[in-house]
Amino acid sequence: TEFKVRLTRRLPTSLAALEQMASVEVWPERQPPTADVLQSKLAEVDGLLCLLTDPIDQELIAAAPRLKVISQMAVGFDNIDVAAATARGIPVGNTPGVLTEATADFTWALMMAAARRVGEGDRFVRNGQWQTWEPDLLLGLDIAGATLGIIGLGRIGQAVAKRAVGFDMQILYTGRHRCDPALEAALKATYVELAELLANADFVSIHTPLTPATQSLIGAAELRQMKSTALLINTARGAIVEPEALYQALISGQIAGAALDVTEPEPISPESPLLQLDNVTFAPHLGSASRATRKKMADMAIANLIAGLQGDRLPHCVNPEVY
Ligand code: GLV
Ligand code: GLV
């Protein structure tokens, strides 16, 4: 029997192995399919490979009676109603691990860019504003020796912390679990409550998945607890931070700046007042965007898809309770 699979976007890798066992239909456009279009195309589909831009809700899953596997090319899967998939016995795959280092690298790129005002400096030079060396031109913050607060010391949070060791930073972390003492010692990381982290960190970096517990985790009250000289870096999911509260904290000087690789919604609305602020450094969700990493993510997503079609256990399954 030949399987039918659908990919919601072209992928940066070869589909040869998949094409040997399935008829593959790839959404050809740059914009994601709308929910209606996607739903209308799932009636006969056995496997779905999707991206974080595709809302895979209960209705869509119900419209795919033959679906055997949902394979997401991302580590985060908050766009998928996993409970609805589990209720149908459909395994959901993701791509953990392969993007950890690239995402930690990019977190550092944003942290350093925000601390040392790289984006502002770039605009300053291009706009022809550079007249001379000045003792007080575009002064930023020291990173070496500063205190880094990591919210969520999972794979990515740990990789961010590992890099901070070379900058002689103090590391505070918080999260659902305390890490084991050997890891804390290796990273020189201290577990604290969120309030204590916010009150003491010069840089606060978010590395938790988006869940009901982390939705709007950083709102007005939390931003008020931060130092007025501190920067907030978000490379996780936009909805973890309340955008209106962030805007207020930035214009009132409650915090010094922010670096955002993710926003809610994505893309950020062109009307968002955050876009007017020079002390926000933006990136268009590029955390894992190195050539090698995106290929590994695509390959891993295909491996999950093939395993699901064959009825094998997915190499990386987010709902192993289906087995
Ligand atoms: C990207 O944000 C991912 O979850 O992989
Ligand atoms: C994601 O890979 C994480 O656990 O941080």
CA of 100 to the centre of ligand 2 (A): 7
* 285, amino acid identity: H
304 and 250 belong to one structural domain: no
Structure tokens at 222: 């939390």
Q: Token digits for 33?
A: 């399919």
Q: How confident is the model at residue 177 (pLDDT cuts 50, 70, 90)?
A: confident
pLDDT in tens, 203-215: 999 999 999 999 9
Q: Which of 6, 9, 237, 316 is catalytic?
A: 237
What percent of the chain is predicted at pLDDT more than 70? 100
10 shares a domain with 22: yes
120 with 231, same domain?
A: yes
The CATH number of the domain holding residue 32 is 3.40.50.720
Distance CA 115, CA 57 (A): 39
The amino acid at residue 90 is I
Question: CA separation (Å) from 230 to 100, 142, 268?
Answer: 25, 11, 23
pLDDT confidence band for 294 (50 / 70 / 90): very high
* ipTM for this prediction: 0.74
Residues in contact with ligand 1 (CB, 6 Å cut-off): 52, 74-76, 99, 287-288
Tell how far the Cα of 30 is from the centroid of ligand 2, in angstroms. 27
226 and 106, same structural domain? yes
**270 and 178, same domain (yes or no):** yes
Q: Tell whether 224 and 89 lie within a shared domain.
A: no
Same domain, 191 and 272: yes
Catalytic residue among 120, 184, 196, 266: 266
Counting from 1 in the atom list of ligand 1, the atom nearest the Cα of 76 is: 4
SS3 state at 110: helix
Do 122 and 79 belong to one domain? no
Neighbours of 276 (CB within 10 A): 9
| Per-residue pLDDT tens digits for 139-170 | 999 999 999 999 999 999 999 999 999 999 99
**In total, how many domains does the chain have?**
2
The protein residue whose alpha carbon is closest to atom 1 in ligand 1 is 74
CA distances from 54 to 19, 89, 133, 190, 272 (A): 23, 20, 48, 37, 23
Residues 181 and 104 grouped into a single domain: yes
Do residues 19 and 109 share a domain?
A: no
Tens of pLDDT, residues 230-271: 999 999 999 999 999 999 999 999 999 999 999 999 999 999
Give the domain range for residue 318. 3-98+291-322
71/152 same-domain check: no
- Ligand 1 atom index nearest CA of 237: 2
Q: Tell me which DSSP letter residue 73 carries.
A: S
Cis bond leading into 65, ω under 30°?
A: no
**Helix/strand/coil (H/E/C) assignment for every residue in 69-86:** EEEECCCCCCCECHHHHH
* Residue in 273, 265, 217, 261 with CA at minimum distance from that of residue 242: 217
Same domain for 250 and 127: yes
Strands of the chain (E only): list them.
3-7, 22-26, 47-50, 69-72, 92-93, 147-151, 170-174, 189-191, 203-206, 231-234, 257-260, 280-282
Amino acid letter for position 283: A
